[in-house]
Amino acid sequence: MDTTAILNQLPYTKPFLFVDSLTKISDDGVVGTYTFNENADFYKGHFKDNPVTPGVILTETMAQIGVVCLGIYLLDKDINSGVSIALTSSSIEFLKAVYPNEKVTVSSEKIYFRFGKLKCKVSMRNEAGIEVCKGEIAGMIIQNKNKDE
């Protein structure tokens, strides 16, 4: 499965899509990038006169690239049959602030994928290569309900 197909299967759209590209993907992990647009609504109030990317948005970015994209890759054909990935747990340590217009790179390493659960070690670095946050994120494979049921 190529990276364009994976990006097309993501269950998100702007303004809640936090993946620009995938630069590497395998059974063991994924690397992808995202640039935080200075016009994003969350910057208007976080913080006054000194906008900083909220931790929940950094966590979501790591989850979308590091768990959802990898999960789509690992599931390959099953994702087309109404399967999604839902966040089940995260433990993130925030090390540096991420500002508007910063491009970040997320690296994810699979810890395990079994019984429908994918757990990954994730790390986010800024353009200078400095780690801005790291931790573990897990997601569960869920079957989408048929709207006709």
pLDDT digits (tens, 9 = 90+) for 102-127: 999 999 999 999 988 999 999 999 99
pLDDT value of position 148: 46
User: How many helices and strands (H and E) does the chain possess?
Assistant: 3, 6
b/e 69-102 (16+ beta carbons within 10 angstroms → b)? bbbbbbbeeebeeebbbeeeebebeeeeebeeeb
Burial of 114 (0-12, 13-18, 19+ CB in 10 A): exposed
Q: What tens digit of pLDDT does each residue of 28-43 get?
A: 999 999 999 999 999 9
CA–CA distance, 93 with 4 (Å, rounded to integer): 30
Percent of the chain with pLDDT strictly greater than 90: 77
What pLDDT, on a 0 to 100 scale, did the predictor assign at position 64? 96
Q: What is the pLDDT of residues 82-107, one digit of tens each?
A: 567 788 999 999 999 999 999 999 99
The helix/strand/coil state of 115 is coil
Check residue 149 and give its pLDDT: 44
Can you list the domains of the chain with their CATH numbers? Answer: 3-143 (3.10.129.10)
